[in-house]
Amino acid sequence: MDKKKIKILSGVAVGAILGFSYYFFIGCKSGTCAITSSPYISTAYGALIGLVFMWPAKDKAEKRNTEDHEEN
């Protein structure tokens, strides 16, 4: 596996662990909270947030080069 995939998967794993930890230690026990009342939803939400934070973004130089090639 290349480094990008490992970085993304580690972000998803850490996010999922943090999402479950939030449910376990702080979560809403009454069932009225949409995200924190279920361990599955809070884990999935944490994994999604981890994915968003670790998703590779285009570098400014790469973006600039792409725009220059499109003009020519």
Mean pLDDT by 10 residues, the chain (72 residues): 90 97 89 87 96 83 65 58
Structural domain range at position 43: 3-71
Residue 58: per-residue pLDDT = 74
Residue 21: per-residue pLDDT = 96
Only one residue has tokens 């850490």, namely 14
Structure tokens at 14: 């850490």
Residue 10: per-residue pLDDT = 96
At residue 72, the 3 state secondary structure works out as coil
> How many domains are there within the chain?
1
Structure tokens at 55: 């998703």
Inter-axis angle of helices 39-54 and 3-25, nearest 10: 150
Residue 62: per-residue pLDDT = 66
